[in-house]
Amino acid sequence: MSRYVFIVGMGMALLLFAAQPQAQGPALEFSAEAVQMAPDKQLRTARMYVGHERVRKEYTDNGQQVIEIVDWGRGRVILLMPEQKTYMESSTAEQTQILPRRAGEDTNPCLSMPSLQCRYLGQETLSGRSVDKWEMLAQRDGITERSLHWIDPQRQMPLRQILPDGRLTELTLLGQQTLNGRQVEHWEQSSSLPDGEVQRVSQWYDPQLQIAIREELPGGYFRELRNIVVALQPAQLFEVPAGYQRLERPARALGGAGENTSTVAAPP
User: Which residues pair with residue 250 across a beta bridge?
Assistant: none
**Is the pLDDT reported for residue 183 higher than 80?**
yes
Quickly count helices (H) and strands (E) in the chain: 0, 16
202 touches 190 (CB < 8 A): no
Give 244-255 pLDDT, tens digit per residue.
999 986 544 443
Question: In this predicted structure, what is the pLDDT of residue 93?
Answer: 57
User: Which residues pair with residue 46 across a beta bridge?
Assistant: 34
Give 1-41 pLDDT, tens digit per residue.
333 333 333 332 222 222 233 344 566 899 999 999 887 77
163 touches 148 (CB < 8 A): no
- The model's confidence at residue 73, banded by pLDDT at 50, 70 and 90, is confident
Fold of 30-258: outer membrane lipoprotein receptor (LolB), chain A (2.50.20)
- The model's confidence at residue 66, banded by pLDDT at 50, 70 and 90, is very high
Q: What is the rounded CA–CA span in Å between residue 32 and residue 50?
A: 8
Q: What is the rounded CA–CA span in Å between residue 87 and residue 255?
A: 17
Average pLDDT across the chain, whole number: 79
Among 105, 161, 111, 110, which Cα is nearest to 133's?
161
- The domain locations on the chain are 30-258
Give 115-166 pLDDT, tens digit per residue.
789 999 999 999 888 999 999 999 888 899 999 999 988 887 889 999 999 9
